[in-house]
Amino acid sequence: MAKHKKFSFTKPNLKKIIHLKSDKSQENDVADTSINSFNTIEVLIIIIVSITFGIVVGVSLSFFRDEYRGEKVSNSLQELITVYQNILNSYYKNIDEKDLADAAIDGMMSSLDDPYSTYMDEENTETFNETVDGSYVGIGITITVDKNGDFSILDVANDSPAEKAKIKKGDVIIDIDGKELDGVSLDEVTTMVKGKEGSKLSLTILRDGKKIKKTVSRGSIDLVSVNSQVYALNNGNAGYISISSFAANTYKQFKKELKKVEDKNIMSLIIDVRSNPGGHLSQTKKILELFIKKNKVLYQVEFKGNKTKIKDQTKTFRSYPVVILVNSSSASASEILAAAFKDSYTNVTILGETTYGKGTVQTAYSLSDGSSLKYTTERWLTPKGKWIDGKGVTPDKEVLLTDEYLENPIAENDLQLQSALDILKKDAS
């Protein structure tokens, strides 16, 4: 089941493999000394059985060496596997082997007492991967349930299969692949729209009272995690870039949007990571390298007491004023970005609320059945060596949002954004 070498539970019983290894020479001796007491047919059968046995043992031992890299299996691991096999073989009810293995993995992850180390089933893994990869396979529509209970298309992604098929915002989906949607949930409809890349999807939609048939080929859709715009100030333009998450394609999108605003002669920049839960550390690092000078520390990582400083190794940097917008839901990679600017960039203001306070880094590993593990592998520290776990990054200027913005979230009501623009007016004057 598992590709990860340390969590392989459905392979041959390791204790049995050890016994076979120690008894292999004895089995061969018996075959050699007894050959004269059998007839020709029996000898052939013994030879075939011996060859088969040798292959099985050889493959098993090869697997054992690959899985454990020649290391001696600990007594604790042997006991765990023995219990696993005993339950499968001796429990009075039939036990599903996969369910038992899943429970064992889940139990190990739970024993870590770490909210960020989890075992995810296939469905949750798929959702997680879509988020961190920044893409999914579908046709590029956002579906909602309207006031009439119909499945209405809320948005159509640019350059998506749906847009190319001339599906429009406001269209109502009546059936999918000939199946009517009465009594079907929104999650089920979303699942029906997804599928393998290149596969075809048949939709019947209702538009202006008319039924229209559409056939669409599913494709890979990039999730947009970066948006930008430019604000005209009385002392020059200010760029604004929001990052909703650090997916695998976020740096590419950020670089594109940064060029777009810089082509409009900005004098300063706002980077908005409010409510950004984090994501790929590599993407955060690449974005920081666009701004911070060579050999400056971006952040530190600590593994079992050993600290490593991660420095900028690029020649690229910027020096114009930057404001980083944060709130209490800015977490993980967002906090790494804010802390790096705070400690290693010369002209920056961190504005908003104290951040979430997550100071650890996780590694995700996919298992062969579609499930996955996500577990903590390092602590991260600010460039100056501070661990912000449970504390967060404190803003240079604390600004809270008003009820007016929460009721009507537009730029004019966004006190944090307006405060950032006020700071940039003064800095550039």
Per the listing, tokens 């009517």 go with: 180
- Catalytically annotated residue among 358, 372, 374, 419: 358
- Between CA 415 and CA 393 the distance in angstroms is 20
Question: Who's near 129: CB < 8 A, 6+ residues apart?
Answer: 366, 372
Determine whether 242 is an active site residue: no
Q: Structure tokens of 356?
A: 């979430």
Are 278 and 334 within 8 A, CB to CB?
Answer: yes
Q: How many CA atoms lie within 13 A of 313 on its CB side?
A: 3
DSSP state string for 34-62? TGGGS-HHHHHHHHHHHHHHHHHHHHHHH
Dist CA 297 CA 300 (whole Å): 8
Contact 355, 337 (CB under 8 A): no
Q: Which of 392, 281, 268 is nearest to 327 (CA)?
A: 392
Identify the CA nearest to 120 among candidates 110, 134, 112: 110
Q: Alpha-carbon distance 334 to 355, whole Å?
A: 9
Catalytic residue among 334, 343, 344, 419: 343
Is position 332 annotated as part of the catalytic site? Answer: yes
CB 309 within 8 A of CB 300: yes
State how beta strands 322-326 and 141-145 pair. unpaired
Catalytic position from the list 332, 334, 344, 371:
332
Nearest CA-CA partner of 378 in 365, 361, 363: 361
* Placement of tokens 């290693």 in the chain: 344
The answer to whether 343 is a known catalytic residue is: yes
In 3D space, the residue among 287, 298, 308 whose CA is nearest the CA of residue 342 turns out to be: 298
DSSP secondary structure string for all residues of 307-360:
EEEEE---S----S-EEEEE-TT--THHHHHHHHHHHH-SSEEEEES------E
Catalytic residue positions? 332, 343, 358
